[in-house]
């Protein structure tokens, strides 16, 4: 708890181009959460280097992501928006937690298996220990809640296990975090394979809508979206492509699937695709403009980066010092 509010932590990587899925599935919900909770939204650049990065690109994208958080409507005076690498407590706590995590536990992580298959030439120790750094992120702020996608639930589970293990030995040091399951968080699927989540690392650029795509590109990608041969617009498991288009439509308009189905009843797939393309373009247009404006306001963004890193450090260091003392590191001389 901070000032009587529950603490909520989440983070995103700045690698790759963020997609409509990242926006509708995560970022858009983060905005509202900041009214209710004490939120820390981190740009997890330390996680990014588990895969080889071009330094200039990484730096540029990290800043773009932080700007996107603000452009999406998160008020940086309320929620703490910062870079993981600016708060050294993350790496320090991660080291300590490494010593409370078993190889066997990490070996079971499905994301590690997937990523090591994908980057077979660079299966580094950081990639292996990735979930431990993520646990440190969360535990440093004594977070009560963590909004994560289903692909990260296994990591959150391990975080809870590590925290519980630590508390069992040293007393109540860490708050045990829980997954925040939002109100029907939109799960946006690939436009080319609606059985698969829309992903920023998809090789097929037509599979994803990138947040910076222009209107024509958006419309064209929706026109090419994979559907089915049923020929009727219904919201059901048997028609995952149509259902995904309806989900996107609903996430952008706030309508329910029933309303959307009624609206499109008797109309063709082409109509639905154009309508979804238009509404997505209308949704992203103001976001893109705001990003462009904020990007120009260097002084303001720099001040957000500096102030919020200090705020994050304040809370993180408090937890870190407690942990260091508990495990027997010599106290600092003041």
Give the strand pairing for 145-147 and 178-180. parallel
The question of whether 322 is a catalytic residue gets the answer no
Sheet hosting strand 7-12, strand order edge to edge: 80-83, 38-43, 7-12, 145-147, 178-180
Q: Are 105 and 160 in contact (CB under 8 A)?
A: no
Tokens representing 38 are 């004490």
**Separation between Cα atoms, residue 117 and residue 112, nearest integer Å:** 8
Provide the strand spans (E) within the chain: 7-12, 38-43, 80-83, 145-147, 178-180
Q: Using alpha carbons, list the distances in angstroms from residue 132 to 99, 146, 310.
A: 10, 15, 23
For 235-254, letters b (16+ CB in 10 Å) and e give: beeebbbbbbbbbbbbbbbe
Structure tokens at 147: 């909004």
Of 4-12, 205-213, 254-262, 323-331, the window that binds ligand TRP (rule: CB under 6 A) is 4-12
* CB closer to ligand TRP out of 79 and 276: 79
Q: Smallest distance, Å, CB 36 to ligand TRP?
A: 17
**DSSP 8-state code for residue 10:** E
Taking residues 9 to 48 in sequence order and writing x for each that binds ligand TRP by CB under 6 A, - otherwise, the string is xxxxx------------------------------x--x-
Closer to ligand TRP by CB, 114 or 195: give it.
Answer: 114
State the sign of the Cα–Cα–Cα–Cα dihedral 22, 28, 34, 37: negative
| Shortest Å, Cβ 9 to ligand TRP | 5
Residue 179 C-beta: closest distance to ligand TRP, Å: 10
Which residue is closest to ligand TRP by CB? 11
Query: Based on CB atoms, which residue is closest to ligand TRP, 65 or 138?
Result: 138
Query: CA 109 to CA 252: how far, in whole Å?
Result: 33
- Asked if 156 contacts 80 with a C-beta cutoff of 8 angstroms, the reply is no
180 vs 264 by CB, closer to ligand TRP? 180
Cβ distance to ligand TRP smaller for residue 148 or 219: 148
Nearest in space to 98 (alpha carbons), one of 129, 59, 125: 129
DSSP 190: P
Catalytic pick among 200, 255, 311, 326: 200
Instruction: Draw the binding track, 126-165, toward ligand TRP (x: CB under 6 A; -: no contact).
Output: --------x--xx-------x-x---x-------------
- Minimal distance in Å, beta carbon 269 to ligand TRP? 32
* Closer of 132 and 323 to ligand TRP (Cβ): 132
Task: Based on the residue annotation, tell me whether 197 is a catalytic residue of this protein.
Answer: yes
Q: Tell me the window of 8-16, 112-120, 273-281, 308-316 that interacts with ligand TRP (CB under 6 A).
A: 8-16
Binding residues for ligand TRP restricted to 47-76, rule: CB under 6 A? 47
Catalytic residue among 6, 183, 197, 298: 197
Token match 């639930």: residue?
153
CB nearer to ligand TRP: give 40 or 210: 40
Only segment of 5-13, 102-110, 117-125, 287-295 that touches ligand TRP (CB under 6 A): 5-13
Integer Cα distance of 77 and 260 in angstroms? 37
Of 28, 115, 221, 273, catalytic: 115
Whether 115 is catalytic: yes
- Give the binding site for ligand TRP (CB under 6 A): 9-13, 44, 47, 134, 137-138, 146, 148, 152
> What residues are annotated to the active site?
115, 197, 200
């Amino acid at each position: 708890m901070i000032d009587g509010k529950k603490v909520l932590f989440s983070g995103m990587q700045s690698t790759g181009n963020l997609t409509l899925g990242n926006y509708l599935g995560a970022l858009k919900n983060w905005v509202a959460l900041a009214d209710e909770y004490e939120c820390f939204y981190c740009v997890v650049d330390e996680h990014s280097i588990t895969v080889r990065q071009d330094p200039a690109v990484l730096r540029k994208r990290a800043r773009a992501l932080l700007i996107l958080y603000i452009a999406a409507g998160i008020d940086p005076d309320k929620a703490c928006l910062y870079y993981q690498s600016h708060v050294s407590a993350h790496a320090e706590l991660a080291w300590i937690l490494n010593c409370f995590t078993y190889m066997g536990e990490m070996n079971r992580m499905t994301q590690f298996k997937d990523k090591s298959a994908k980057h077979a030439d660079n299966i580094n120790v950081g990639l292996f220990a990735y979930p431990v750094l993520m646990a440190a992120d969360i535990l440093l702020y004594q977070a009560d809640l963590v909004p994560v996608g289903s692909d990260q639930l296994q990591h959150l589970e391990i975080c809870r296990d590590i925290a519980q293990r630590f508390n069992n030995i040293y007393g109540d040091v860490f708050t045990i975090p829980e997954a925040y399951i939002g109100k029907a968080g939109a799960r946006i699927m690939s436009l080319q394979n609606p059985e698969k989540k829309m992903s920023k690392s998809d090789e097929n650029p037509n599979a994803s809508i990138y947040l910076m795509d222009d209107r024509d590109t958006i419309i064209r990608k929706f026109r090419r979206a994979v559907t089915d041969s049923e020929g009727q617009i219904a919201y059901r498991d048997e028609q995952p492509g149509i259902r995904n288009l309806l989900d996107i439509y609903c996430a952008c308009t706030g309508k329910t699937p029933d309303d959307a189905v009624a609206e499109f009843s008797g109309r063709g797939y082409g109509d639905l695709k154009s309508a979804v393309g238009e509404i997505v373009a209308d949704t992203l247009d103001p976001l893109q403009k705001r990003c462009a404006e904020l990007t120009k306001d260097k002084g303001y963004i720099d001040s957000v980066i500096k102030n919020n890193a200090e705020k994050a450090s304040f809370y993180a260091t408090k937890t870190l010092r407690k942990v260091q003392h508990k495990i027997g590191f010599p106290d600092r001389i003041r």
